[in-house]
Amino acid sequence: MAPIRPGEAVITGAHRFAQNKHVIHCLGLVYGVDTPSDVLLVSCYRNALNLAVEHGIPSIGFPAISTGIFGYPVEEAAHVALSTVLAEAPNLSSVKLVRFVLFGEADLHVHAHILQFLLTQQRGE
C-alpha cells in the first residue's frame, strides 16, 4: 500500500492493536512544504472517513493530524478537521462516533473552542 502521498489514506488490519479490527493510516502534510495545506488536510480526514464507511466501521479516532513535527498550527488544523467532520457527518452511514485523541489540555481547549464556534455557526446564532 505504500507509498502514499499527503492527504491519502489506506486501511489495514489492526494486528492485535487493542480491540480494533482495522487501522486507517493517513499521511499528513508538512506545513509550508506540501500545498495547498488546507486542501490536503481536508483530504486526510475525508479519505479516512470514507474508508471507515466503506468497511462498516462504527467509530474512528483521529489525532490532530500534522500538528506535531509536521508543523501545522493547531488552531488552523482544528478548524479544518472539525469543519470537515461536521460537513461529512450526514454521509457517515456506519460511523456513529468520531473521537479526537489529542496531545494535551491545550489542544483539547483549542478543539473544544473551535467546535463550539462551528456548532454555533451551524445553528445560525
pLDDT digits (tens, 9 = 90+) for 25-34: 999 999 999 9
pTM of the model: 0.93
* Interacting residues of 19 by C-beta distance below 8 A, sequence separation 6+: none
Give the residue, 31 or 3, on which the prediction is more confident: 31
**Tell me, what's the pLDDT at 1?**
67
122 vs 102: CA distance, rounded Å = 24
User: What domains lie within the chain, and their CATH numbers?
Assistant: 9-123 (3.40.220.10)
**Tell me, what's the pLDDT at 18?**
67
pLDDT digits (tens, 9 = 90+) for 41-50: 999 999 999 9
Asked whether residue 57 carries a pLDDT value surpassing 70, the answer given is: yes
In which band, very low, low, confident or very high, does the pLDDT at 16 lie, cut at 50, 70 and 90?
Answer: confident
Query: 123: which 3 cell numbers?
Result: 445553528
